[in-house]
Amino acid sequence: MSVAKKEYKRITTKTLVDMKKRGEKISMLTAYDYTMAKIVDSAGIDVILVGDSASNVMAGHETTLPITLDQMIYHAASVVRAIERSLVVVDIPFGSYQSDPKEALRSAIRIMKESGGHAVKVEGGREIKESIKRILNAGIPVMGHLGLTPQSIYKFGTYTVRAKEEEEAEILKADALLLEKAGCFGIVLEKVPAKLAAEVAASVTIPIIGIGAGNGVDGQVLVTHDMLGMTHEFNPRFLRRYLDMFEDMTGAFKSYITDVKSGDFPNEEEQY
């Protein structure tokens, strides 16, 4: 059953918890630059994720691993300057928090101070709980990320669905409870069976945001460039393309080239 959408002037971490209590689904998309963030925010999105997926989308890397903390801060600062309503969550990149809680805190502080972001996101459960606690103790909101965790892709060896077997599913459910108890305000759950995701969402009071995790969770996130059809090589089952911008942009570029070559652009009205 759909729930009437409440108007929020500014989305906060508390807003998201309230939305879960009310049964209102949470919308979340990525942005990495000012122009895109301005459009996404003005459309009314609840959460903007400055994802380390910028490593793939903006820089062309095969994985999220190469992007640096300095680069994440640059992207996040660009996004924050565009925002009037959305909550901005920033990924802490690979190698900046996993092994040393003190380094995790330093990384989170840099993101908050230098970008103006509203929260950080980290991947993993019990193995990074000390880093999460250290960040939270400094008053910095933390979003978790379980299931398929792209920063660990070389450990998994594949981007296939996670937690299909009972043992891994039980670990995931325990990690979700651990993240809630530690103080995380929400969790992204990526590429896990829909039934398991619904169980996790029902077991915690914090919002579960799914990507490839079915409709029984509290909200959804997609990479904006994917849902707009700007990318065309990536076709997972969970992706719904709302536009085909690859075709539209290619057509526009070709028309521009034709007009320039023919001398049609600029015409008399487009000159001084």
Query: H-helix or E-strand containing 161?
Result: none
Chain mean pLDDT for the chain: 95
Q: What's the number of CA atoms in the CB half-sphere (13 Å) around residue 207?
A: 30
Residue 1 scores a pLDDT above 60: no
- Give the residue numbers annotated as catalytic, written as ranges: 190
The tens digit of pLDDT for each residue in 130-174 reads 999 999 999 999 999 999 998 877 666 666 888 889 999 999 999
Residues 75/110, Cβ–Cβ less than 8 Å: no
Going from the C-alpha of 157 to that of each of 94, 149, 170, 235, the distances in angstroms are: 16, 11, 21, 19
How far apart (Å, rounded) are the C-alpha atoms in residues 79 and 38? 8
Of the listed ranges 30-44, 155-169, 236-250, the one predicted with least confidence: 155-169
91 membership: H or E segment, kind and range: strand 87-91
Task: State CA 178 to chain mean position distance.
Answer: 21
DSSP codes of every residue in 231-261: --S---TT---S--HHHHHHHHHHHHHHHHH
